[in-house]
Amino acid sequence: MTSTNRQKLAFAICDFLQSSIKSGVIKADDAEGIEVAIQCIGEAFGVDHSDAAQQSLHSIKPASLQTIFDVFVATQKKIGESKAAPAAAAAAAAAAAAAAAPAGPTAEKKAKAEGLKALGNKLMAEKKFADAIGKYTEAIALDDNNAVYFANRAAAYSQDGKHELAIADASMAIEIDPGYSKGFSRLGHAHFCLGEYQESADAYERGLKLEPGNASMTQALNAAKSKIGAAAVRSAPGPSAGGMPGMPGMGGMDFASMMSNPDIMNMGKPHLAQSLMQDPEAMNKLLSNPALAKMAGEMGKK
């Protein structure tokens, strides 16, 4: 299904909901919520149900979503009852698809869309980003299978601070034309602005595979990688609180107790060393000291 088919389907859904409100099928208490749903669907798929030009472009009249669905249900029922050949199902599906089949934009519409794109580019240069978005949207309404229009609107959305919408448009540009490197450039920029540096780097790398010599994308990729590296450094664990730099095996020793023990403090004095050599009992006394025994035990565990 092309993007034109999606817009026709979205337009048909909005038309069905609107007619259900007018006919009273939807209660008055629920109408406001349905109106909001219609608006959200229109914004998501770039269609305006109230716009006459778009009605001409996207409407499937005289067919409707209800009639197409009724035909489908009736066909399914008939197939189930008669166990008809698969050809019957194929014929029904073909009929439904034909009702919603898009007619590609005429040469006149394409020319008008190009003019709108040029106006959008001029507004971008003047930093009138919201107005530029409007012109690109009009161009898309006339020719929604043009990757350039979506990529340009993605750039305008990013400049206007609407990076999530920029990601959606850049992704659509890539879907329409996977070989269009600017689609990946717009995607990488939007992710970067949202702080999604890994996604940004991935997009730039894919774009550079299509256009290896692109200096702008290379510089942007390096910036994204720099952000990733900085985040990794910030998240790295620090040295153990109980250890000593360069002496990890000494982390379990209680230096405060050692320094307050008079026997240990006197070990460096000459008279203590001489006493230990002349009096074996003095050595036994030192080794029986609880602090030394605990220290020796802790060191033995390392």
* Cβ pair 108, 124 in contact under 8 A: no
In order along the chain (302 residues), what is the average pLDDT of each group of 10 residues?
71 83 84 87 82 77 79 78 62 62 80 96 97 97 95 97 97 96 97 96 96 95 94 69 44 50 53 55 60 57 50
pLDDT at 146: 95
Q: Which two tokens stand for residue 232?
A: 């990794």
Whole-angstrom distance, CA of residue 194 vs CA of residue 161: 10
pLDDT at 286: 58
Count of beta carbons in the 10 Å neighbourhood of residue 130: 12
Instruction: Give me the phi and psi of 15, to 5 degrees please.
Output: -65, -40
Residue matched to tokens 């409707």: 64
Max CA separation in the chain (angstroms): 117
pLDDT at 55: 74
Whole-angstrom distance, CA of residue 105 vs CA of residue 177: 17
Mapped onto helix, strand or coil, the DSSP state of residue 129 is helix
pLDDT at 151: 97
pLDDT at 3: 53
